[in-house]
């Protein structure tokens, strides 16, 4: 089992509307990621198998929406609620070691 975190040193988030707008530029997201991992090794007669699963998540809120967009003639900044984004992902890793050359290497020695 394992746990780690990625601390975001960004001072501020990018604008919420920049996320879908800028495909070729880096965006600063002030998100602290947390990672949990679990795995085990299976020793079989013909191989060794490694099975691993990791889960990562993080969230962030955007306090200031874009100042240029009007909603029904009213300034969108009148809405005090921040926008938020939640990021999560699972990763599964399978590793197989099959000792094909094991007998040949022992013969050479």
User: For the segment 46-67, what is each residue's pLDDT rounded down to a tens digit?
Assistant: 888 999 999 999 888 766 555 5
* Residue 56: exposure state from Cβ atoms within 10 A (0-12, 13-18, ≥19): middle
- Model confidence at 5, pLDDT cuts 50, 70, 90, reads confident
Domain that holds residue 29: 2-108
Q: CB within 8 A of 44, min separation 6: which ones?
A: none
Q: What is the pTM of this model?
A: 0.58
Please count the structural domains in the chain. 1
Which residues fall within 8 angstroms of residue 91, CB to CB, at 6 or more apart? 52, 53, 54, 55, 56
pLDDT given for residue 69 in this prediction: 55
């Amino acid at each position: 089992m394992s746990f780690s975190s990625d601390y975001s040193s960004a001072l501020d988030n990018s604008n919420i509307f920049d996320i879908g707008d800028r495909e070729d530029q880096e965006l600063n997201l002030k998100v602290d990621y947390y990672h949990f991992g679990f795995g085990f090794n299976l020793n079989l007669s013909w191989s060794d198998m490694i099975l691993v699963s990791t889960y990562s998540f993080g969230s962030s809120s955007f306090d200031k929406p874009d100042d240029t967009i009007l909603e029904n003639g009213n300034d969108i900044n009148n809405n005090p609620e921040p926008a938020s984004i939640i990021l999560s992902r699972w990763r599964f890793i399978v590793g197989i070691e099959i000792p094909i050359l094991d007998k040949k290497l022992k013969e050479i020695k």
